[in-house]
């Protein structure tokens, strides 16, 4: 094992404290610092492990401080920001390979609707069924607009929308115990 500079050690400790797995840290150290390390070396800078038992007090203090800050402030993690999540969904739709797949389009739009509709948050107090129906119509318009935007061939658009409508109808039948009836 090569001797590491103090900067490299601190970089490894910081990544470990932020819960990056050792194999990813090996890659990051090589890419960011141009230093070749192995997972065993990386693990030697994680307190609480057999390999990390020989860490200096200074390194243990650094690890503890970074870990505490990491656990108390999620704002540095991109996925905690709504615009980042929406950008990643848009990236899926814009992908030249998977973005043209009807299944990818449906899954991405469905996930967007769940996020925007509050499936992963508390429901809006006092929302009436009429409010929810209007919002559902709004999401349907967004969905059709997304398919229109991302599927250029008109015949493919129609086929994509029909396939998605069939999938939704079949899923609704299954959920309501009506599988095998209709359409």
Query: Per the domain annotation, does 163 fall within a domain?
Result: yes
pLDDT band at 5 (very low <50, low <70, confident <90, very high): very high
Which ranges constitute the DSSP H helices of 34-181? 39-43, 57-72, 82-94, 102-116, 129-150, 154-175
102 and 164 share one domain:
yes
Query: Per the domain annotation, does 1 fall within a domain?
Result: no
| Domain C-terminal end among 22, 47, 72 | 72
Query: Per the domain annotation, does 183 fall within a domain?
Result: no
pLDDT in tens, 67-82: 999 888 888 888 778 7
Domain hosting residue 111, numbered range:
79-175
Q: How many domains does the chain have?
A: 2
How far is it, in rounded angstroms, from Cα 100 to Cα 97?
6
Q: Per mean pLDDT, which range of 32-46, 85-99, 130-144 is the poorest?
A: 130-144
The pLDDT mean for the chain works out to 78
| Domain C-terminal end among 55, 72, 89 | 72
pLDDT in tens, 126-159: 556 565 555 555 556 666 666 666 767 767 776 7
| Domain C-terminal end among 46, 72, 98 | 72
């Amino acid at each position: 094992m090569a001797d590491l500079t103090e900067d490299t050690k601190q970089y490894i400790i910081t990544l470990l404290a932020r819960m990056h797995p050792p194999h990813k840290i090996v890659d990051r150290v090589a890419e960011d610092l141009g230093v070749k390390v192995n997972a065993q070396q990386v693990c030697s800078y994680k307190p609480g492990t057999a390999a990390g038992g020989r860490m200096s007090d200074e390194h243990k203090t650094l690890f503890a401080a970074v870990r505490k800050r990491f656990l108390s402030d999620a704002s540095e993690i991109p996925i905690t920001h709504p615009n980042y999540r929406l950008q990643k969904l848009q990236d899926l739709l814009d992908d030249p390979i998977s973005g043209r797949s009807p299944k990818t389009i449906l899954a991405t739009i469905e996930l967007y609707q769940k996020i925007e509709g509050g499936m992963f948050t508390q429901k809006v107090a006092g929302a009436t069924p009429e409010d929810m129906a209007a919002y559902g119509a709004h999401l349907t318009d967004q969905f059709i607009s997304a398919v229109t935007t991302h599927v250029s061939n008109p015949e493919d658009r129609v086929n994509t929308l029909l396939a998605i409508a069939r999938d939704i109808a079949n899923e609704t039948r299954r959920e309501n115990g009506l599988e095998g009836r209709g359409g």
